[in-house]
């Protein structure tokens, strides 16, 4: 996603006037070979080189080989010096650590050791740690080298158009702002099933699993976006503060309210350990202990090799008790698709045309891509642009991450055994029981 995001920024005219993109790795790769690699990536994943200013873009690509650590910077310092001669000695330096999390600490120390930390911005992919103690250790190491204002912990779900539209729909429309609480909402579902497997990143996934890869990162962050109190403003500090405050109200997960699963055939994937118990599916009931949400269950679900791919947030409104009798439960929902440009769906009960006063479920759909002058940006494009302009609104802070790890730690300490589930299914049957007497909106 990263290299296509840079090229999309070039197509959209959102890169600075002068810039150089330097790749870094262990191999002895020439600038020309790296340029060809970028060309191949864009050809496979898009946007294709022919769709943008490839000739000008390719002139700004460099590669620094020989690896990089505290003892040996490889050729990175020399290549950066050459780049500064092209774009200016005072150029803003951005380090994007597209590496496994175990490499974060060593690379961060290397930035400090070789004078590359001062004034720079550093982007860290998730997960930021693999346990509460691991997070704290990494956070201390990062802050020993960098000020918090330099740190950008990227979670691409926060860059999705529809995730941000949650703010607009709720805070700009009294119709929804007035019902956004436990008095009107029965439950919230955040559902990210995936048909994809893990073949292309088996070793990483086997060491991580669905809980660390998705639950404590993406799903927790989206839950915070849904549940936050109205921020004082839309500035970075106020948005981050509102998000992190509600995460601190997350009740630690009860392992008895969590279902883990592993799809059949997972252990046969090349790179997966023999006898692995890694979870490829997780469904959890999350509680938020504050006045707005006390007693409202947040149901979170994600997994690999499931029946469909979907990214959806659904608020299930309470069913009125009078004057209609026997109304269908869960018929009134407000739903957000987080895929692509996003979509808002409102499901409600309306009178079926005819003599009788019979309620019938109906759905109103608003694809956000159809709004006038809509120009949605993919999440990585949006977030990398935010890094370039120094906007930290959609990046996570240490207090929120600390609270997230505190909430998930009981599950890490005593995880239930993963149940086997068939590929192409909806996961373990126990996940359906988790939301009973209701049902999952996706796949119902």
What three-state secondary structure class fits 318? Answer: coil
Q: Helices (DSSP H) in 54-186: which residue ranges? A: 54-58, 76-87, 104-113, 132-143, 161-171, 174-177
Residue recorded with tokens 């790769």: 29
CATH superfamily of 158-379+398-434: Dihydrodipicolinate Reductase; domain 2 (3.30.360.10)
Domain boundaries, the chain: 2-156, 158-379+398-434
The catalytic residue among 39, 95, 114, 218 is: 218
Token pair 């004082």: residue: 232
For residue 311, what pLDDT is reported? 92
Is 2-156's fold the same as 158-379+398-434's? no
Pairing state between β 281-286 and 258-263: antiparallel
Residues 175, 247 contacting (CB under 8 angstroms): no
Distances (CA, A) of 262 to 53, 189, 377: 44, 21, 34
* Residue 379 backbone dihedrals phi, psi, to 5 degrees: -60, -40
Question: pLDDT digit string (tens) for 201-220?
Answer: 898 899 889 999 999 989 99
* Mean pLDDT, the chain, integer: 91
User: Is-contact 273 206, C-beta < 8 A?
Assistant: yes
Q: Is 126 annotated as a binding residue?
A: yes
Instruction: Please give the structure tokens belonging to residue 340.
Output: 């692509």
pLDDT tens digits, residue range 7-25? 999 999 999 999 999 999 9
Query: What is the pLDDT confidence band of residue 234, given thresholds at 50, 70 and 90?
Result: confident
- Statement: residue 444 has pLDDT above 70: no
Residue 20: predicted pLDDT: 97
User: Quick one: pLDDT band at residue 77, thresholds 50, 70, 90?
Assistant: very high
Q: Is 17 annotated as ligand-binding?
A: no
Q: Which residues contact 378 (CB under 8 A, 6 or more apart)?
A: 1, 5, 8, 159
Specify the residue for token string 């109205």. 230
For the record, the structure tokens of 76 come out as 């990175």
Which residue bears the tokens 């998930």?
408
Burial of 193 (0-12, 13-18, 19+ CB in 10 A): buried
143 tagged catalytic: no
Of 85-94, 96-105, 263-272, least confident by mean pLDDT is 96-105
Could you tell me the two tokens for 265? 């055939």
Q: Is 199 annotated as a binding residue?
A: no
Q: Report the topology of domain 2-156.
A: Rossmann fold (3.40.50)
């Amino acid at each position: 996603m990263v290299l296509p995001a840079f090229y999309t920024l070039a197509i959209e005219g959102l890169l600075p006037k002068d810039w150089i993109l330097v790749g870094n790795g262990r191999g002895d790769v020439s600038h020309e070979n790296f340029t060809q690699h970028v060309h191949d990536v864009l050809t496979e994943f898009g946007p294709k080189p022919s769709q943008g200013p490839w000739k000008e873009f390719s002139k700004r690509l460099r590669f620094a080989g020989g690896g990089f650590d505290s003892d040996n910077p490889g050729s990175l310092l020399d290549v950066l010096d050459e780049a500064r001669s092209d774009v200016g000695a005072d150029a803003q330096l951005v380090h994007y650590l597209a590496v496994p999390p175990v490499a974060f600490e060593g690379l961060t120390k290397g930035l400090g050791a070789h004078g590359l930390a001062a004034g720079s911005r550093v982007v860290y992919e998730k997960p930021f740690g693999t346990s509460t103690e691991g997070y704290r250790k990494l956070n201390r190491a990062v802050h020993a080298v960098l000020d918090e204002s330099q740190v950008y912990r990227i979670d691409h779900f926060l860059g999705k158009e529809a995730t941000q539209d949650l703010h607009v729909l709720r805070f700009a429309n009294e119709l929804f702002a007035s019902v956004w609480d436990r008095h009107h909402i029965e439950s919230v579902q955040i559902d990210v099933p995936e048909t994809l497997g893990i073949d292309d990143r088996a070793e990483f996934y086997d060491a991580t699993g669905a809980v660390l890869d998705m639950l404590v990162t993406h799903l927790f962050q989206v839950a915070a976006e849904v549940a936050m109190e109205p921020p004082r403003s839309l500035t970075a500090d106020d948005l981050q503060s509102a998000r992190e405050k509600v995460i601190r109200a997350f009740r630690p997960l009860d392992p008895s309210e969590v279902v883990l699963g592993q799809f059949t055939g997972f252990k046969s994937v090349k790179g997966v350990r023999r006898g692995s118990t890694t979870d490829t599916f997780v469904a959890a009931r999350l509680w938020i202990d504050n006045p707005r949400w006390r007693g409202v269950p947040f149901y979170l679900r994600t997994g690999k090799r499931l029946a469909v791919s979907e990214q959806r947030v659904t608020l299930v409104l309470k069913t009125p008790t009078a004057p209609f009798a026997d109304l269908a439960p869960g018929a009134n929902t407000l739903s957000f698709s987080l895929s692509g440009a996003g979509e808002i769906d409102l499901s409600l009960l309306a009178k079926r045309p005819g003599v009788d006063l019979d309620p019938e479920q109906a759905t109103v759909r608003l694809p956000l891509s159809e709004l006038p002058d809509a120009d949605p940006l993919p999440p990585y494009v949006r977030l990398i642009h935010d890094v370039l302009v120094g906007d930290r609104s959609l990046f996570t802070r240490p207090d929120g991450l600390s609270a997230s790890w505190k909430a998930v730690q009981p599950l890490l300490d005593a995880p239930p055994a993963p149940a086997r589930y068939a590929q192409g299914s909806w996961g373990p049957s126990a996940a359906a029981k988790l939301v009973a007497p209701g049902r999952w909106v996706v796949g119902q």
